[in-house]
Amino acid sequence: MATIRLGDMAPDFTADSSEGQFNFYEYLGDGWGILFSHPADFTPVCTTELGTAAKFKAEFDKRNVKMVALSVDGKESHNEWIKDINETQHTTVNFPIIADEDRKVSDLYDMIHPNADDTLTVRSVYIIAPDKTVKLIITYPASTGRNFHELLRVIDSLQLTAYHKVATPANWEHGQDVVVSPSIPTDEAKEIFSKGVEEIKPYLRLTPDPTV
**Shortest approach of ligand BEZ to residue 89 CB, angstroms?**
13
**Shortest approach of ligand BEZ to residue 121 CB, angstroms?**
10
**Shortest approach of ligand BEZ to residue 144 CB, angstroms?**
9
Q: Which is nearer to ligand BEZ, 113 or 164 (CB)?
A: 113
Catalytic residue among 34, 46, 70, 72: 46
Contact present, 94 and 69 (Cβ < 8 Å) = no
Q: How many helices (H) and strands (E) does the chain have?
A: 7, 11
Contact present, 64 and 171 (Cβ < 8 Å) = no
DSSP structural state of residue 125: E
Q: Which is nearer to ligand BEZ, 143 or 171 (CB)?
A: 143
In this structure, which long-range contacts are made by residues 60-66, counting pairs with CB atoms below 8 Å and at least 24 apart in sequence?
60/34, 60/152, 60/155, 63/32, 63/152, 63/155, 63/156, 63/159, 64/31, 64/32, 65/31, 65/32, 65/33, 65/34, 65/127, 65/155, 66/27, 66/28, 66/29, 66/31, 66/32, 66/33, 66/34, 66/95
Q: Which is nearer to ligand BEZ, 45 or 137 (CB)?
A: 45
Q: Which is nearer to ligand BEZ, 144 or 176 (CB)?
A: 144
Burial class (CB within 10 angstroms; exposed 0-12, middle 13-18, buried 19+) of 185: exposed
What's the gap between Cα 201 and its chain centre? 33
**Shortest approach of ligand BEZ to residue 53 CB, angstroms?**
13
Under the rule (CB under 6 A), what is the footprint of ligand BEZ?
39-40, 43-46, 142-143
The verdict on whether 112 is a catalytic residue reads no
Q: Which is nearer to ligand BEZ, 44 or 114 (CB)?
A: 44
Catalytic residue positions?
46
